[in-house]
Amino acid sequence: MPLSWAFLIVQVIHGEMLAGHRQFWITRPYEWKKLLAAKVLFMVSTINLPVLVADVYVVHKAGFHLSSSIFPGLMLKQLSLVCLMLPIIASPP
C-alpha cells in the first residue's frame, strides 16, 4: 500500500511541476503557492484522511475510546505518514 501511495504522489507532483523563476513560459498561468496547496490538499484527502478515518473506526470497533492515551498514537502515525511522503515530494523529476 505505501508503494502505491508513493506512485500516486509521484504522479501528482511531477504531473504539473511547480515553476521556478526561469520556467514561467513552460507552465500554465498558475501561482506556485496555489498549485502547491492543491497538491498537498490532494495528498491529505487521498492518503492521510482515509487512513485516519480507518484507524478511528478500528479503534472504535475494538471497543476502545479515543482517549488521551490513544489519540497521540494516531497522530504519531499520521506524522509518520507525512514523513514517509516528504522524500517522495522533495525528489527531483
* Domain of residue 18, residue span: 2-90
- pTM to 2 decimal places: 0.67
User: Would the pLDDT of 93 be above 60?
Assistant: no
Does residue 64 sit in helix, strand or coil? coil
Among 9, 5, 79, residue whose Cα is nearest residue 40: 9
Residue 63's pLDDT is 86
Count structural domains, the chain. 1
Higher pLDDT, 78 or 66: 78
pLDDT digits (tens, 9 = 90+) for 38-67: 778 888 888 889 999 998 899 889 888 877
Dist CA 32 CA 69 (whole Å): 39
To 5 degrees, how large is the angle CA 86–CA 36–CA 17?
90
Share of the chain above pLDDT 70, in %: 76
What's the DSSP call for residue 48? I
